[in-house]
Amino acid sequence: MTTPTETAVLEAADAIIAAFAATDTDAYFAGFAADASFVFHPEPARLNSRAEYESLWAGWVASGWRVTACSSTDRLVQAFPGGAVFSHTVSTSIDSADGPDAYVERESIVFRADADGTLIAIHEHLSTAPTESA
C-alpha cells in the first residue's frame, strides 16, 4: 500500500474542481467512486452513493442551475498509506432559475488509492464557512 504524493492528490482534487467549475457532469462524477458518499449542509440527509448525487445534480441542471465560477484556497493535503484527505475553502458562483448566487464553503474530499495508484474520491463533505464577523 503506497502513500499518495501531495502532487497526485492536488491533481485529483483539481480535476474534480475544474469539472465542477465547468458544470461538466461526466468529468465531475468520473472523479468519484460508485460507492462514494456525500454530506452537504443544505441537504436533509447524507447521499450514500454517487448515483444518488448524480440524480440530485441532474435535477439541479434540469432546473437551469450551472456553476459560473469556482476557486479553491486554503488547501491542505493529508496523505496516508492507501489514500488522502484534501480540504480547502471553496468559493462558488452559480446561476439558476432564481438568478445568480455565490457562496463560500469548506470542503473535505477523501481519496482512496486504487491498486494501480489512481486516486478516486470516496467521500465529500461540504460545510458552511464562518463569516468574518463570527
Question: What is the distance between the alpha carbons of residues 34 and 37, in angstroms, rounded to a whole number?
Answer: 9
Are the C-beta atoms of 36 and 124 separated by less than 8 Å? yes
Residues 10-45: tens digit of each pLDDT: 999 999 999 999 999 999 999 999 999 999 999 999
Are the C-beta atoms of 72 and 17 separated by less than 8 Å? yes
Pull the grid cell for residue 45: 440527509
The sign of the torsion formed by the CA atoms of 119, 121, 123, 127 equals positive
Q: pLDDT grade, residue 132 (50/70/90)?
A: low
Residues 61-92: tens digit of each pLDDT: 999 999 999 999 999 999 999 999 999 999 99
Helix H, strand E, coil C: the string for 57-93 is: HHHHHHCCCEEEEEEEEEEEEEEECCEEEEEEEEEEE
3-state secondary structure of 2: coil
Q: Name the nearest CA neighbour of 73 among 5, 131, 129.
A: 129
pLDDT of 6 reads 97
Q: Please report the domains of the chain, with CATH numbers, ordered by start residue.
A: 6-128 (3.10.450.50)
Residues 99-110: tens digit of each pLDDT: 999 999 999 999
Strand order in the sheet with 66-80: 32-40, 119-128, 101-113, 83-95, 66-80
